[in-house]
């Protein structure tokens, strides 16, 4: 840093501010000059030495139930990019939606390898989490209720599902299949999205037909098999709301294979706004739950706790507002 500072005509503190991203303390012209000298001299930050000096591992953990159908893989990629901007590596673990595995991920020996941890809570209960004594900063994600002492980032499943269903009703559909539905009292992703589906029907005075709430998995294969089964049994329907984009993609294929036109005969909408949803034929209309906003919030909350561990402060809850991304699989509003 001394060599860079001398060549750039600035202090070593200014160089430190630039390489550590404290850009609010440095003018843009100075920052560019320092970066140019760093490039010229071939300077590289020794992250291992810096982390040892700061008492850090330089790693953040992320535990998710699975890497399929696709949502969690894209979440991991978003978080990896955001933490990398802070000089942190992201390590990803799989819990298989197991209560034991989720709690094991938050045990002291496991957390000692990380500066912070992000856990997707699917099976864990409030009482389980409340008993934990943790020194490592943790941000919880997912729909399950969590103790108030944890920062929590989640999506508006009820609101997003209601928006999707209301769009289908507004554009003329009355018999809407819900793929991967569940009991609306179930405080899980399927339960909450089912609640939104039912709320939309109630708000618009449209009858809910329980035979159209189909219990199935979330993958492309599950969506395909469920729609083929409905068609094979002669169940009439004029729209499909799939609780994931992956299931919706399977539904699109099943409708094509059975001669149903989308959106003329059957409208289709998904949820999650996966990258693949842009490339289906027709393009898949979907609920964008605030993927980038959630990734930003997860990173910001965790880095704030890591950088200022003694600052304390009340835990925060972040839930971005969802929106509909309209493509060709639904009729124009």
* pLDDT tens profile 64-92: 999 876 899 999 999 999 999 988 999 99
Given this model, what pLDDT does residue 54 score? 57
How high is the pLDDT of residue 186?
Answer: 78
The per-residue pLDDT for 309 is: 78
Contacts (Cβ under 8 Å, ≥6 apart) of 134: 106, 108, 111
For the stretch 92-107, pLDDT in tens is 999 999 999 999 999 8
- CA distances to 97, 109, 111, 190, 271 from 94, in Å: 8, 17, 15, 20, 22
- What phi, psi does 271 have (nearest 5°)? -150, 130
DSSP-assigned letter for residue 249? H
Prediction pTM value = 0.82
Q: Which residues on adjacent β-strands are paired with residue 140?
A: 119, 152
């Amino acid at each position: 840093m001394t060599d860079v500072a001398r060549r750039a005509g600035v202090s070593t503190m200014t160089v430190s501010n630039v390489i550590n991203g404290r850009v609010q303390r440095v003018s843009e012209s100075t920052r560019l000059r320092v970066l140019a000298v760093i490039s010229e001299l071939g300077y590289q930050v020794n992250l291992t030495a810096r982390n040892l000096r700061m008492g850090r591992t330089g790693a953040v953990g992320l535990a998710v139930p699975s890497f399929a159908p696709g949502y969690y893989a894209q979440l991991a990629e978003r978080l990896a990019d955001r933490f990398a901007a802070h000089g942190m590596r992201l390590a990803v673990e799989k819990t298989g939606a197991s209560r034991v595995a989720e709690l094991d991920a938050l045990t002291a020996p496991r957390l000692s390898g990380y500066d912070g941890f992000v856990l997707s809570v699917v099976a864990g209960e409030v009482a389980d989490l409340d008993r934990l004594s943790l020194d490592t900063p943790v941000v919880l994600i997912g729909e399950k209720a969590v103790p108030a002492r944890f920062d929590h980032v989640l999506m508006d499943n009820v609101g997003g599902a209601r928006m999707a269903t209301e769009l289908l009703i507004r554009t003329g559909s009355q018999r809407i299949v819900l793929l991967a539905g569940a009991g609306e009292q179930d405080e899980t992703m399927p339960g909450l999205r089912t609640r939104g589906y039912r709320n939309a029907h109630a708000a618009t005075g449209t009858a809910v037909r329980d035979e159209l709430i189909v219990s199935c998995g979330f993958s492309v294969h599950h969506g395909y098999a469920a729609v083929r089964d409905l068609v094979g049994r002669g169940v009439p329907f004029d729209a499909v709301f799939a609780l994931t984009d992956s299931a919706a993609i399977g539904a699109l294929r099943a409708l094509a294979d059975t001669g149903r036109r989308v959106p003329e005969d059957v409208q289709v909408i998904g949820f999650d706004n996966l990258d693949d949803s842009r490339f289906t034929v027709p393009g898949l209309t979907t609920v964008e739950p605030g993927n980038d906003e959630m990734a930003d919030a997860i990173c910001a909350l965790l880095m704030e706790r890591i950088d200022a561990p003694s600052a304390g402060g009340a835990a925060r809850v972040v839930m971005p507002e969802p929106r509909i991304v309209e493509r060709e699989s639904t009729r124009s509003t």
